[in-house]
Structure 1
Amino acid sequence: MDNRRVFITDVTGRDGFQMEKHWIKTEDKIRIINRIINSGVKRIEATSFVSPKAIPQLRDAKEVIELIKRDNVEVVTLIPNIKGAELAMEADVDEVNVVVSISETHNKKNINKTVDQSVKDIAEINKFVVSNNKRVNVSLATTFGCPFEGIYEVRKVSEIIKKLMSMGLKRFTLADTTGMANPTQVSDFVIHLKTVFPDVQFSLHLHNTRGMGLVNLYSGYNAGIRHFDASLGGIGGCPFAPGATGNVCLEDVVHMLHYMNIPLDPDIDELIKAAKQMETLLGYKLPGQVMRAGISTATFES
């Protein structure tokens, strides 16, 4: 396999839709997710088995999982606890994604638990999911800094990874939850963590809060990351962090990497069509750039 190849996890169905205040019909969610799948994206974080009281927008998780196209696609769901894990196993997802913050303050606001409590919960979840022959990925929220606690040293991230690896976990997402990272920091963190933990599969989950999403992604790529999250149109964000805006935009990421001759699967033209369809559905202007400007090789009559 080409070691330059990039693998994208689309998070529109979960991180994207969870921030939408107005109810999106289940059939519309399925239509958008299936268009993303049809573009060539092979890994989808489709929804979350979270309490409907916490995030009402995702109360149709079971129906979404049942009705999206699943041929040759890995389906991931975010889960908050063992109950969510049980529902995910019933839905026969390929992987569950659990979240723990590097920041005590953010973890308390996001999950209402201390970091140590969350780590213990993840141990229980991992044991249960592995017994069902499925995988667990751990997203490390606020990896690059927290709006409540500021920027911290990479060793703070390492300490939590060590605890989780002792439980057998080897898949981690470094999440810039509120877009605080800069390219030098991303590169430094990634190089350090890949050196200390050579057997771990790391991915990057970046937000474009301060306009550095794409450059941070490319910095991570140059430091050795090949797995990235993105959402169609750049929608999404963390509902428990002030000022948090959307994820790096799926079609913008694919466009950039494609024209840099970096191998990846999704078709940019299909993603632009899907983003425009979603903009019409949501009824407001999305942050994505390529969906508006067109691909960089397009020509127009003078």
Structure 2
Amino acid sequence: MDVRQLRCFVAVAEELHFGRAATRLHVAQPAVSQTVKAIEKQLGLVLLDRSQRRVRLTEAGALFLTESRAVLARLDDALAAMARFREAESGTFHIGVAAALPPDLVPRLVTRVRDRHPELAVSVHPLPTRPEVAELFDTGLDLVLVREPVRRGPRIDGRVVAREPIGVAVPRAHPLAAAESITAAQLDGHPLAGFARDADPEIHDEVFGALRAAGYTGPGVLHGAHSGAVDASLRLVATGGALSLKLASEVRTFGHSDVVWRPLADVRIEVTVTAAWCPDRMRGTRAEVLRLLPRVR
């Protein structure tokens, strides 16, 4: 017995009229009659009482209608689930991205996804400063990249995908450019170009607190900008107007021929990027995206 036969019987049982059932199914009436007879023969039961020019369900027919409806409803649920899965496989993968990440991280990931899974579109969304990671997935995001540790649990999983030390972007003609590395104290009195404290107080205090602990006493002038204004601050460095605390990847990506990068000699300040996701959403192609994330020891 197949699904077509079940749908035919349900139509007759609900209409209690072979002609109306045939119209509903868009088939000829004799085909409907033959289908019902074939079902009755297979079951060895009379499902419809056709006497006195009317159609009525027998007790067996009423029971079979209930069971047929349950089977068809379960099938419809399965088809709907597969449709949702198919949509997820070929839909859009939404990534939330915090400010001031290593600049090549997101483009590299998007390129990998596009090359391996061209059926999956990728949409990148900026995140607010210091977001509540658990709440981000209620907005439809599939993956988030943030600059803070993520508390893993039953609903959220994650791992570190990038770790890079902060150094100093220096004008090529500046005396400090001749050094292999720069101490925190050597930054004293030099103008600095960087993001303003109110853009992200926690990261700002972490960075400058570590510098002060290593002997730094403060800049001559602090040229403030929002935390994503890497290009603007490096242009200022290129003119000789300031130094800037930067990642080497930022200088490579946005740098100028008149800018060089030097590591800090006596303090290590790292930018650590964590990817987080909801495990129950990562099925099919979405789970494959996780395998494309960079791995950091």
Please state which band the TM-score falls in when normalised by the shorter chain: under 0.3
Provide TM-score, normalisation by structure 2.
Answer: 0.23
Provide TM-score, normalisation by structure 1.
Answer: 0.23
Normalized per residue, the structure richer in strand is: 2
